[in-house]
Amino acid sequence: MKLNIGDTIKRLRKEREITQEEFSEVLGVSCQSVSRWENNTCYPDIELIPTIAAFFGISTDKLMGVDEAAEKEAVDRYLKDFQAAISVGKIDECIQIARAGVAEFPNNYALLNKLMYALFVAGDDTGNIPNWKENMEKYDAEIVALGERIIKYCPDAEIRFEAIERLAFHHCEMGRKTIGRTICETLPSIYNCREGVIWWALSEEEKLPHTRRYISSAYGILSHALYRLLHLVSAEEAIEVIDKMDALDRLVYDGDIPDFSWHKARMAFHRAEYCMKSGRSDEAIEQLNISADMAIAFDNRPDEIKTESLLLGEKIHKKTDFDTADSRTLCEILRDTWLGEKVFDPIRDTAQFKAILGKLK
């Protein structure tokens, strides 16, 4: 069997931006020896194999190019288990899964990225994590270290940019906005993204699916921007923004907005919230009923749902695609948290409001 140890060493060394001289000093060998390995003129001494593998954070089997298929299968299993856990807000379990994966495959950036993500989400104050504030401090240094490692060494651009975005956000959350902003400035402009440019290089068969993925991404970006605008304008203007978001949803889904959407339940709730601030309590009750119905639909959604529209084409929505920092059902969140807002105090004792609470039980 032909071993590709030299090619592996060369690739890993370059990924880490380490020179042959630096690598030879670490191992206590001559630079010429490293050069001969990488040229496949000869192999490293058998005694050096564990040291080289440990330096790169990989197994000796991987260093020698053995059993990569088995590693991929194991990593995919870790990623699947991670997604299943985060879809129901089991953040501690996510951390355990990611740590186990990294322990087995210490140089797998997909797993390192998931570990960074799980530690970051553990400090999310919007879920039901009781010690979220302590987690922010507890995992601060580890999140930064993981992010910097991924950014410096990961060859996968998607993972690298995701880590950049999360690291910048984390610094801002920790009060280090100057550092966060500096990191944000390294990201490319929305106008120079791959999705917008690569169209010209695609074959005719690739253009339609790519364009629909591009529309889906743009739809998500615009929806997120409108949601941010919602919290920056007056109550009456906020209701108008929600109307425009609803119109956008109907446009994208050909007028048939999926009933299983967490987003749809949240928007109906926000409309009720702003209606109360505008003195429109009757309309607020109507919107809370819609929100409750959407929450019930979301909690009882099937494992897979197919949607089809002109702009997005056919899409399969899996129940486990949902990421959350809250282990409660949406009905519980709506009943116990959202509806506890003081803005609803004027209608809290009404029969209609109590009926909504009863529906959510």
Domain count, the chain: 3
Whether residues 54 and 105 share a domain: the answer is: no
Cα–Cα distance for residue pair 168/180, rounded to 1 Å: 4
Taking alpha carbons only, the member of 152, 168, 217 closest to residue 190 is 217
Q: What is the pLDDT of residue 105?
A: 84
> How do residues 152-170 score in pLDDT, each as one tens digit?
888 888 999 999 999 999 9
Cβ atoms of 24 and 34 closer than 8 Å:
yes
Q: Which residue has the higher pLDDT, 15 or 95?
A: 95
Cα–Cα distance for residue pair 289/355, rounded to 1 Å: 9
CB atoms within 10 A of CB 231: 9
The answer as to whether 228 is a domain residue is yes
The answer as to whether 192 is a domain residue is no
Q: At what angle do helices 140-153 and 157-173 cross, to 10 degrees?
A: 150
- Report the percentage of the chain scoring pLDDT > 90: 74
Last residue of a domain, one of 159, 187, 215: 187
> How do residues 271-295 score in pLDDT, each as one tens digit?
999 999 999 999 999 999 999 999 9
Helix segments in the chain, DSSP class H? 5-15, 20-27, 31-38, 49-56, 60-63, 68-86, 91-104, 109-121, 132-138, 140-153, 157-173, 177-184, 194-197, 204-230, 235-252, 262-277, 281-299, 330-336, 351-360
The CATH number of whichever domain residue 155 belongs to comes to 1.25.40
Whether residues 343 and 232 share a domain: the answer is: yes
Whether residues 174 and 248 share a domain: the answer is: no
Whether residues 162 and 181 share a domain: the answer is: yes
Whether residues 217 and 330 share a domain: the answer is: yes
Given a cut of 90, whether residue 145 has pLDDT beyond it is yes
Q: Which helix (H) or strand (E) holds 317?
A: strand 313-318
Q: What is the pLDDT of residue 66?
A: 61
Whether residues 319 and 356 share a domain: the answer is: yes
Q: What is the pLDDT of residue 81?
A: 98
The CATH number of whichever domain residue 58 belongs to comes to 1.10.260.40
The boundaries of the domain holding residue 27 are: 5-63
CA dist 179 → 156, 164, 283 (Å): 23, 12, 44
What b/e string do you get for 140-162 counting C-beta neighbours within 10 Å, with b at 16 or more? beebbebbebbbebbeeeebbbb
Q: What is the pLDDT of residue 41?
A: 86
Whether residues 144 and 78 share a domain: the answer is: yes
pLDDT band at 1 (very low <50, low <70, confident <90, very high): very low
pLDDT band at 261 (very low <50, low <70, confident <90, very high): confident
Whether residues 39 and 80 share a domain: the answer is: no
Q: What is the pLDDT of residue 3?
A: 60
Whether residues 270 and 296 share a domain: the answer is: yes
The answer as to whether 307 is a domain residue is yes
Q: Which residue has the higher pLDDT, 233 or 199?
A: 233
> How do residues 100-109 score in pLDDT, each as one tens digit?
999 888 878 9
The answer as to whether 220 is a domain residue is yes
- Name the least confident of 51-60, 245-254, 269-278, 335-344: 51-60
